[in-house]
Amino acid sequence: MKKMIIASTSTIHGSGPLEYLLPKLSTFFKEIKTVLFIPYARPGGISYDEYTEKISVPFAKINIKVKGIHEFEKSKEAIQNAEAIFTGGGNTFELVNQLYKNDVLLTLKNSIKSGTLYLGTSAGSNICGISMMNTNDMPIVYPPSFKTMGLIPFNINAHYLDPIENSTHMGETRETRIKEYHVFNETSVLGLREGSWLEVNNNKIILQGELSARVFQQGKAPYEIESGVELAI
């Protein structure tokens, strides 16, 4: 039975890493002593050790230790034996590339399906969908496939931004990019705003946080889902 928190971001403006999520995580991980951390996305190019150390700080506030997957000789066994797993944000292309390179994508998927608690933020949330094709990241590496875990029946656009009224910026909006995606692809996309997350209990998916989320489906007008509502996309 899947039990997941799929968050748009680890950090919201004016707070530290995971700070806004700690009240939820303290109950979600209440029986957990150690979380296995997957630092492959490397935000800003930081090392796995630096990233793991950074993430250890907020988890210490709820009395949970963090162990990086790179600290284990056998990555698959580390996932299979984990009490809980957290995949952090950064570059989704590199995250997916390393999951394939280390041959752990399917192992991760199966462990979550078997009930291992999972937290994903940003890139770590993008990999929960059908594919990583709605990431905002630069393609700094070329993963073997864009296919990801498919643990939810749609894709995530993390850090979703609404168009700014009267902006003089001439670049495409997120909504425009997703419309371009739907010219060639049928998979629905959820625009998940910062500070919002999905709480997944098996096949039940509920939007949480203070903000609504925006749903994009091929051939249909986008619409909003309010916080506290179960998604049926």
Burial class (CB in 10 A: 0-12, 13-18, 19+), 169: exposed
* 10 is an active site residue: no
Number of H helices, E strands in the chain: 7, 11
Residue the block writes with tokens 């999951």: 99
Q: Which of 159, 182, 212, 227 is catalytic?
A: 159
DSSP conformational letter for 87: E
Length in residues, the chain: 233
124-154 in b/e form (b: 16+ CB < 10 A) is bbbbbbbbbbbbebeeeeebeeebbbebbeb
Q: Which of 122, 125, 131, 196 is catalytic?
A: 122
* 103 is an active site residue: no
Helices 105-113 and 92-101, axial angle in degrees (round to 10): 90
* 13 is an active site residue: no
> Dihedral of the CA atoms 43, 46, 51, 57 (nearest 10)?
-100
Give the closest residue to 2 by CA, choosing from 103, 163, 119. 119
Q: Which of 131, 137, 188, 196 is catalytic?
A: 137
Q: Which neighbouring-strand residues pair with 197? A: 7, 208
Q: CA–CA separation, 131 vs 147, rounded Å? A: 4
- Give catalytic residue positions: 122, 137, 159
